[in-house]
Each structure stands twice: as structure tokens, then as C-alpha cells.
Amino acid sequence: MELIYVPWLTSAAKTLSAFLFVLYVVVPVLVKTNPWIFSKILFLHFLKFPYFVDLKRPDKRGIKGCKNFYIKVNEKVTLGAWQTLPADLLEGDSSQLNSGHPIILYLHGRAGTRAQPHRIELYKVLSSMNFHVIAIDYRGFGDSSGTPTEEGVLEDTYRTYKWIRDRSDKVPLYIWGHSLGSAISTNLLKHLNQKGESVDGLILESPFNNLWDASRRHPMSLPFRFLPWFEWVFIDSMKKVVDYCTEDNIMEIDEPLLILHAADDHIIPVQCGRELHNKVEHYRKGRSYTMYKEFDKHLGYRHCEIYKDPELPSTIRFDWCWEKTLKLLQCETTFGWEKYIMDNPDKLRIIILGKTGAGKSKTGNSILGRDAFRYGDYGSSVTSICQMKTSGRFGKKIDVVFDTDQDKKCIQQQNGNTCYTNSDYKKVELMLQERMKEENEDIDVVQNSEEFYLKIIESSMASYEIEDWVKPVNTFVLLGRPGSGKSRTGNTITGCNKAFEFGFHSKRTSKKCESKLTEICEAEVCVIDTPGVSVFEKQDFEDIQSALPEDGPSKIIFLLCVSIGRLTHDEISLINQNFDVFGDEFADNTIIIFTHLDEWESDMNDCNENPKFDSYLNTLPEQTKTIFRRFHNRYLPLNNKQKKREETQWTLKLMTIANSMQGFNMPYNFPT
């Protein structure tokens, strides 16, 4: 049989063989011997698309109220940034971040600049919702100087956070991370939490649970996935140079979390977002709010176009962050409303009472999450009829109804009896009154409405008095050995440096507990400073009992103060004694406070080492890690030299963690 020679077929076979050799031999060898390649692949900063765009002129990209500016990170790095104004400020001259409008810090993905079309469209959506939007290009991206690295990008984002906070101390701040930006944002929040700082919420768009799973599922890995050495060559090499693990970072933060993912995402498959949400839900177990929203395939949003969804504004503004409303109602932190709201049925009707100027309209707007009711100047009224507005939040239908200074007949005529007596709804009355003013008018409002509203409450599924919402006194009991920083921690919580004496100069000679009462955002807090001991005895137990507040129940949270460093044998022994005395519930109701953070950071800087708190935790002996795991890794580092504003933020962070805990019930007798 004679073979026929086909020149072009032979040439094609050679080309294919060469291609396969490069793909399955040369590339794996290069990757395995040069893992730094992954850092170049991770940050595609050289792809500065869209090209030929003047980043200094955002107005040329069709964005109203957007200005270009620069943030200096250090002597070598300057970041290019845009600020897009909220819609309310587009017609005015003000661009100040302290205008009172909430702020979103937008962190983009691995390629392109802040001027990419889909990013611009998102800025417009957020602007229409009255957010300030700060969008930056990391070092090396866009017109920013430098070369991106994981540590460098963290420095960029933290410096941007400080730049925002310096200009807007008390304005709500949220972080939005897209794609790789989701991992960068959780890296930033983890860093902030270790410093005792925080933001008001986190939005992750198209996130991955960890970089390794995302790489396995990425289209670029398709030719290699079936190979038996794929993990050894690619994944193991990647882990040597990059460490973006979103799921691990989120385990160390408590901010409200919203995850957005399109089911047809072709870059980061939706399975990554689902797994991230499942792990976060399992870990948090309701301690902090988490919401996951998946967009159906037929919508065609893929990786970058979730901004097109018409329901996105309501999802961002209302559904995902009950804490936002709670902070408005309860002065920047939450004390018990979460459980009350969660215990209600799917339909909730809130009826607001109060005289003119008591703030009914603003309260209703806070609950609904939008400007549904008009309001006027302090002490005046712009509402002439009783109104009812509806919102869908947190998976519930919520009606907010408030009266004016009208009589019950007018209210009934305007809304109908079914507005109040529909048995499908649970009703809640809020009676508002202004402080530092005469209360006679308020009493009249209640008395005049009593008969009518009594019928409303009787027809409801249940009724509540204000006292039902009052939480027990938050009581922090400081524990630790001498010199562990208990007293200074107590001073930070109380906001007074002289509440508890500390240091070697202290004149305190009593071995009794000392307690101080304080108010944090209108909530009563008791702080009990125990004397430093090496052995926990019966007398110490009785002293704590006697120091507890006498009025009302106490929600006891232990603060175990530990100096940053190696745990000594005596400290470990004292912790074990606490378990013997208080039982297994001790771990569930204890927060570890790592004190003397400032001294440790100074020592690290003197040694030319990076003072990353998570690095310190990783260097601890396995025995110590095991002990800390018993406390569910619930800890806060404390810098005793931080500024007053940072102390306040640290205290609010502590209160947020404490609010998610059940509280310890003190036994009556010392165990024998």
C-alpha cells in the first residue's frame, strides 16, 4: 500500500505538536520554576483600557459632578482617583465629603482603569442614590505610579480610607469591591479591624471565595484542569506569591455584608459566590447581617453588568443593611433591635405617634430607608394628612404609618380601618418625644389616641411596651494578670483616662473590684475592673458578684486582656482557672483584648519588620492557637495611644461584637 504525502498536513501536525509542547511542557516548567509570574498575571495593570482616555477629564466620559484628584501614599506612589458627587449636590458648588451623604469607596478588578464603561455606569447609579463615590486606580493602574503588589495595594486602599475619614469623620462609609477588588476590600477590612477601625458595610460584586478555587474555574485554566499535576504546578506555585483568600478574611470582620453575583458570570463562576456566602453564614450564625443576591442567567449581566438591574438601588439601599437603619435609630450602634425585628412575622406595620416636630417623618424615612415622608425644620410640620408608606426590607413587607395632630376620625377616613386592623400584619407603636422639652403635649397625644389605638393593638397579633425592648445593662468584666492592660482598656471603654488608675505609679492598693457606669450611644454600660491576680480564688468571684449593677439584669461579657507576646505558663493557667470557675460558657461570652499593640508595632518597626497583626497570630505556638480557638477567634487588638476618634470607633466595634453575644449568667456560688 502506497502512502500519500501531504505537505500541508505534515506542516500542520508539526505546528500542533510544537503548540502542545509549549502549552503542556514549557508553560508548566516556567510556572513551577518562576512562581512570581502569578503576581504579574494577577495584576494586569499594563492593560490600561479604555485606551487614549484623559483620566484628568472625567467630564469627557459623560459623568456629571465627577472630579479628578490624586492621593499621595508615600514618596514613590501617588494614586489617581475620581470623586462622583451625589445627585443632591450636582447643582450646587459643594463637593465636601462631610455633606452628610453616605460614601462608597469603589475598588475595581484586576485590569483596566477607573474609566472603564461598566464602572462609569455604576458610579452613575450610585450617584443617583445620593452616594459620594470614591474610585481609585491602584499603584501601576491608570495614571497611578508604582508597581502593584498585594502589600502595596493594601497600603493604597488603607491610605485612601484614611484620606476619606480625615474629611468625613462621622459620615457612613461603605466599601464596594468588584472581582479581584472583592478580595482587596476584605484584605482592607481585616486590616482595619485589627487596628480597631471599621466601616458601615461591605458590598462584594462577583467575588471569589478564594483565589485557588477561582483559578481552577477560570476560563484560562481550562486546558490544564484535567492534568494530574495541575494542583502541584499551578495552585501550589500560586500560593507561594499571592494570598488573597476572601473567605478567611471575612471570618475576621463583622461588618454587614452584601454579596452580588450573576448566575452567568463567565469569569468568576457563580459557585464561588455561593460557597463564599455559605461559609460566611455558617461562621457568623446570625451574629452579623449577611445577604446574598443572585441574578438569573436570562438577565445576561455576566461579570460586569449587574449595574443594569433595575432593582439594584433598592437592594443596596434597603434590603442588605438593617444595621444602617439601626444606627440611625440608636446612635451608631445596635442594642437589641436586631432580635426584635427578626422575631417579627413577614409582615410588619409600624405606627408612629407624636406631636408636631417630634421627628415622625424622619423616623419613618429611617425605617423605610428612603425619603418617603416630607419633613420640615425643627419643631415645625409640613404634613397635613396621615400617611402610610411601604417598603420591602430584609425579606419582610413593612408598612410605616404615622398620624399628624389630627383626631382619630380624620385618621380613619384617610386610611380606612383595614390599614390598622388587618390581622395579616403585626403592629408596633412608636411614641416619639423630644428631649429637654415639656412632655404635657406628648401625654395629651397618648391620652387622646388611647381608646382608638387600644382597639388597634387588641386586634394585632401581639402588643409591646417600650420596656420590652430594653436590653439588660451591658456589663464588661475585665480579667487578666497584673500589667495586662485591664485598667487602660476600661478607660478606653468609658472614654475617661482617669476612670481606673493604671501603671506602676497607681495608688490603688485595694484588691477589690472597681466598677464605673457610663453611657455609650444612650445605652447604659457597666465596666468592672478586677485586680490583677495569678490565681483566681473564691474572693475574686464574690467581688465580681458584688460589683454587678443592682438595678436590672446584667448582660455579662468577659474581656480577657492579654499583652501581645508569648503567653506565659501563668497566663495559660489563669485562663484554665476561669474555665473551671465559669464553665464552658466562659468561651462563648468572652472577647480577647490584645493590649499594648502600640508597643508591639514600635518594636516591629525598630526591627524593620512589617507590623501586621495577623502575622503575629500566625507565629504563635500551636498550644496558644488552640486556646484562642476555644474563644472562636473573637478578639480585638487595642492601641492605647490611639486618638480620641479612633478610641470611639474601637468602642463601637466592641459594642457591636458584644451585641451579637448572648451574655453570661453569673452562677450564685463559687464552684468547689
Report the pLDDT averaged over residues 499-514: 65
Share of the chain above pLDDT 70, in %: 71
Phi, psi dihedral angles at 118 (to 5 degrees): -65, -30
Cα–Cα distance, 308 to 100 (Å, whole number): 27
Mean pLDDT, the chain, integer: 77
Given a cut of 80, whether residue 370 has pLDDT beyond it is no
Distance CA 549, CA 551 (A): 6
Lowest mean pLDDT among 90-104, 444-458, 586-600, 624-638: 444-458
* 325 vs 382, higher pLDDT: 382
Given a contact cutoff of 8 angstroms between Cβ atoms, the answer to whether 217 and 268 are in contact is yes
Has residue 506 got a pLDDT over 80?
Answer: no
How far from chain centre, in Å, is Cα 617?
A: 22
Residue for grid cell 447643582: 91
Transcribe 320-384 into DSSP letters. Answer: S-HHHHHHHHHTTS-SSHHHHHHTS-SEEEEEEE--TTSSHHHHHHHHHTS--S---STT-----
Measured CA distances, 57 to 63, 265, 369 (Å): 10, 31, 34
For the beta carbon of residue 566, count every other beta carbon within 10 angstroms.
10
The CA-based angle 566-570-574, given to 5 degrees, is: 110
pLDDT at 442 exceeding the cut of 80? no
pLDDT, mean of residues 414-438: 44
423 pLDDT above the threshold of 80: no
Indicate the pLDDT class of residue 14, thresholds 50, 70 and 90.
confident
Alpha carbon distances (Å) from 388 to 381, 392, 455: 17, 14, 19
The mean per-residue pLDDT over the stretch 556-574 comes to 87
Please confirm, yes or no, whether 179 is among the known catalytic residues: yes
Retrieve residue 152's grid coordinates: 502595596
* Among candidate residues 259, 255, 288, the one with its CA nearest the CA of residue 274: 259
Q: Which domains does the chain have, with CATH numbers?
A: 10-43+211-242 (no CATH), 58-91+98-210+243-317 (3.40.50.1820), 344-406+421-460 (no CATH), 475-660 (3.40.50.300)
Among residues 179, 288, 460, 487, which one is catalytic?
179
Q: Looking at the predicted structure, is the pLDDT value of residue 579 above 80? A: yes
Grid cell, residue 202, equals 461591605
Q: pLDDT tens across 290-342, in order?
A: 889 999 999 999 999 999 998 888 777 543 443 433 333 333 333 344 444 44
Q: Which residue has the higher pLDDT, 75 or 14?
A: 75
CA–CA distance, 429 with 445 (Å, rounded to integer) = 13
pLDDT grade for 505, boundaries at 50, 70 and 90: very low
Higher-confidence residue of 403 and 141: namely: 141
Res. 469: pLDDT tops 50: no
What are the backbone dihedrals phi and psi of residue 455, each rounded to the nearest 5 degrees, phi first? -65, -35
CB neighbours of residue 272 within 10 Å = 25
Residue 68: its pLDDT value, please? 96
* Confidence (pLDDT) at 540: 84
Name the residue with higher pLDDT: 520 or 590. Answer: 590
Q: Which of 143, 200, 265, 403 is catalytic?
A: 265
502 pLDDT tier (thresholds 50, 70, 90)? confident
Q: Give the amino acid at 585.
A: E
Give residue 269's pLDDT band: very low, low, confident or very high (50, 70, 90).
very high
C-alpha cell at 85: 458627587
* Annotated active-site residue in 303, 319, 529, 554: 303
pLDDT single digits (tens) 45-56: 988 888 889 999
Average pLDDT over residues 617-639: 84
Question: Which residues does residue 590 pair with via DSSP β-bridges, in sequence order?
Answer: 558
Judged against a pLDDT cut of 50, whether residue 558 lies above it is answered with yes
CA atoms of 294 and 271, how far apart (whole Å): 11
What strands, in cross-sheet order, belong to the sheet with 257-262?
A: 66-72, 78-84, 132-136, 103-107, 173-178, 201-205, 257-262, 290-295
Contacts of 190 (CB under 8 A, 6+ apart): 249, 252, 253, 614
pLDDT the model gives residue 323: 40
518 exposure class (CB count in 10 Å sphere: 0-12, 13-18, 19+)? middle
Residue keyed to cell 509549549: 22
C-alpha cell at 258: 452584601
Indicate whether 266 pLDDT > 60.
yes
pLDDT score at 215: 82
What grid cell was written down for 277? 456566602
Mean per-residue pLDDT, 398-407: 56
Q: Which of 289-298, 328-337, 402-411, 453-462 has the lowest mean pLDDT?
A: 328-337
Instruction: Average the pLDDT over each of 133-147, 369-383, 412-426, 517-531 and give the range with the smallest value.
Output: 412-426
Q: Which of 232-236, 464-468, 488-492, 602-606 has the highest mean pLDDT?
A: 488-492
Asked if 445 contacts 354 with a C-beta cutoff of 8 angstroms, the reply is yes
pLDDT more than 90, % of the chain: 27
More confident residue, 156 or 130: 156
- Of residues 398 and 549, the one with the higher pLDDT is 549
Over residues 146-164, the pLDDT tens digits come to: 999 999 999 999 999 999 9
Q: Which triple of cell numbers denotes residue 324?
A: 444602617
